[in-house]
Structure 1
Amino acid sequence: MAAILILAALPEEADALFPGAGAREDGVFALRRLAAHGHAVAIAVCGLGKVNAGLAAGLLGDDAGLLLMSGTCGALGGTAPGAYWIAQAVQHDYGAVHPGLFRRYRAGDWPMGDAGEAHFAAMPDPGLGLPHARIASGDSFVACPDAAADLAANLGATLVDMEVGAVAQAAARLGKPWGAIKAVTDEANGKSGGDFQANLERAARLAAVQVERLIERI
C-alpha cells in the first residue's frame, strides 16, 4: 500500500477530501488518515503560506511516496473558472531586488547571475483531462489587477496561491514526486476577498473530487 500525503491550507479544503472518512489525529497539524483505492492517505491542514506548507511537507512527508496539494486559488489574466492540474509551480516572491527590477529565481537557488528557469515541475499528468496551469505562489493574497498582470506577463503564470510553490520545493529537497490540483475562487482583483469567501467551499470540493480521481488512477 503506497502512502500519500495530501496538504490543504484550510480546514474547508481538507474536509472536502473524502468527506467524513478516516480517523482524526491531533498534533502540530490537524491530520486525518484513511485508506483509499489501495493507498494509505494522510490529509493534513497545513495552514496558510509558504512556511506552513513547507513545514508540513517536511514533517509529514518523509514516509510518503507522493506529496499532493488540494485547494483553491486565484485566476490570472482571465483564466477561466474550474479545476486545474498544476503542471508547474514558481515562487513569485523569491529572487533579487535590483533598482527598478525584481528578478525572480528558482526558490532555493543562488539569487545572482543568470536567473534561468524559475519553476518546479510536477509529476506527469495521470490523464485526468484537466487543463494545465503554472501557479505562482507567494506569502501574499493577491487582490490587485496590476500585481496579477505582472505575474502573468513576467512568470507566465495563470493561477496564484500561497502554498503550492513551497510544497514543490520541499518535495524536490525530499526527492519525492509532487502534484497539485487547484480550483479558482476569484480573479486576483479588488473583489477577491469577498469572492474567495463566497466560493471557498464550492471550489474546495471541485478540486477534491479531482484529487480523489487522481488517487484512484495511480
Structure 2
Amino acid sequence: MRIALIAGVEQEAEAFLPGQHDRLEQHGHLSVRFVRHSAHEIAITCCGVGKVNAAIAATLLAGLHHAELLMIIGTAGKLSAIAGDCFAIHEAVQGDYGAQRPEGFAHFTAGSWPIGVARVEAFRACPLPDVGLPQARIVTGDSFVECPDHSLRLRDGLSGDLVDMETGALAQVAQQLGLPWAAIKATTDDANGASAGDFQSNLLLAARRAAEAAEQAISRLQ
C-alpha cells in the first residue's frame, strides 16, 4: 500500500522510523522522506502547524505519492476524561467551522453551507489494525487551546475527546479526494492553562508513542 503520512511538527514526523529513508525530496517548503515499511511505501512530511498546512501537505502527497491512504500522526490535547495516552482516531470534526451568532457559535460540518439549522457530521476514519489503542473523537481548529472553558465547550458541544490543529483538515481533504484516512494521536496536555508548558515537556515522548503505534498498525495492514 502507498501511504501518505503527515505530522504537524518536526519532532512528530522524525519520530516515525527515525533516521530511516530510501530517498529525500524537496517540494516547495515540504521535505518529504520516503521509506518502505513491511512492504508498504510511505511518504512522510512535516506539514507545519494548522489546517491550511495540513490540507496542502495532504493534497500534495496524495498526488505526488499516488497515495491509497492518508494518515496523520503526532500529538493532541485531551478534552474529556477518556482513559489512555495514545488513541486511534475514529472521528474528526472541525471546531472552528460554522456561524457566529448573537447567542454563541453554531458548529456546522466543515465544508457545508453554514446557514440554517446547525448540524455537524463527523469525518469517519477507516479502521486500522488493532494495536491495543482506545478510540477517540478529535476536534480540530486553528488555535492552540489554553483555556479550560473553551475545552469544555469543545467537549460538550462536539463530544470531543481530543483537540489538535490538523486532523480534521486531512480528513476533509481525504473525503474530497475519495481516499480513506486514519490518525493516531498521543496526548501532551489537558487543553488548559498549563497546556503550553506541558506540550513542550511531553512532546518528544508523546510523538514517539504515536509513531510507534503507527509503525505497528501499518506493519499489520494488508
Match of 1:24 in 2: 24
Equivalent of 1:217, from 209, 216, 220?
220
Amino acid at match of 1:59: L
User: Does the 8 A contact of 2:93 with 2:140 survive in 1?
Assistant: yes
Q: Which amino acid aligns with 1:52?
A: N
Higher mean alpha-carbon deviation, 173-182 vs 27-36, is at 27-36
- Say whether the 8 Å CA contact 2:131–2:216 is kept in structure 1: yes
* Secondary structure in 1 matching 2:117: coil
Measure, in 2, the Cα distance between the counterparts of 1:79 and 1:189. Answer: 16
Is the Cα–Cα contact under 8 Å of residues 87 and 122 in structure 1 kept in the other structure?
yes
Establish whether residue 133 from structure 1 lines up as the match of residue 136 from structure 2: yes
CA drift of 1:69 comes to 0.3
Q: 1:118 pairs with 118, 121, 131, which one?
A: 121
Alignment of 1:98-109 (within 5 A): 98-109=101-112
Report whether the alignment pairs 1:77 with 2:77: no
Contact 1:104 1:118 in 2 (8 A): no
What RMSD in Å do the two structures reach over aligned CA positions?
1.1
Aligned with 1:61: secondary structure?
helix
Measured after TM superposition, the shift of residue 97 of structure 1 is 1.3
Shift in Å, 1:31: 1.0
For 1:133 and 1:215, the matched residues in 2 are separated by 19
> How many angstroms does 1:78 deviate by?
3.2
Give per-residue Cα distances to partners, 1:111-146, cap 9 Å, x unaligned. Answer: 122333331000024222211100000000001100
1:157 counterpart residue number: 160
1:31-78 alpha-carbon deviations (Å, 9 max, x no partner) = 100111111100111000000000111111121000000000000133
SS at match of 1:26: strand
Structure 2 gap segments, 5+ residues each: none
Moved more, 107-116 or 52-61: 107-116
Picking from 80, 91, 94, the partner of 1:91 is 94
TM-score when normalising by structure 2: 0.95
1:75 and 1:160 in contact (8 A); partners too: yes
**Residue range with higher mean Cα deviation, 83-92 or 125-134:** 125-134
Query: Structure 2 counterpart of 1:211, which letter?
Result: A
Deviation at 1:25, TM superposition (A): 1.9
Distance in structure 2 (CA, Å) of the matches to 1:40 and 1:189: 38
Could you tell me which amino acid in structure 1 is paired with residue 45 of structure 2?
A: A
Q: How many residues get paired?
A: 217
Q: Secondary structure at the match of 2:27?
A: coil
Q: In the alignment, is the contact (CA less than 8 A) between 1:78 and 1:187 conserved in 2?
A: no
SS in 2 for 1:208: helix
Distance apart, 1:81 and its partner CA: 4.7
Q: What is the alpha-carbon distance in structure 2 between the residues aligned to residue 82 and residue 6 of structure 1?
A: 21
Mapped to 1, the partners of 2:94 and 2:120 lie a distance apart of 12
Is residue 195 of structure 2 the alignment partner of residue 196 of structure 1?
A: no
Q: Is the 8 A contact 1:81 1:185 kept in 2?
A: no
Query: Which residue matches 2:174?
Result: 171
- Runs (5+) with no aligned partner, structure 1: none
Corresponding position of 1:4: 3
Q: TM-score, normalised by structure 1?
A: 0.96
**2:42 maps to what in 1?**
41
Paired residue for 1:51?
52
CA distance in 1, matches of 2:31, 2:82: 32
Residue 73 of structure 2 contacts residue 214 of structure 2 at CA under 8 Å; is this kept in 1?
yes
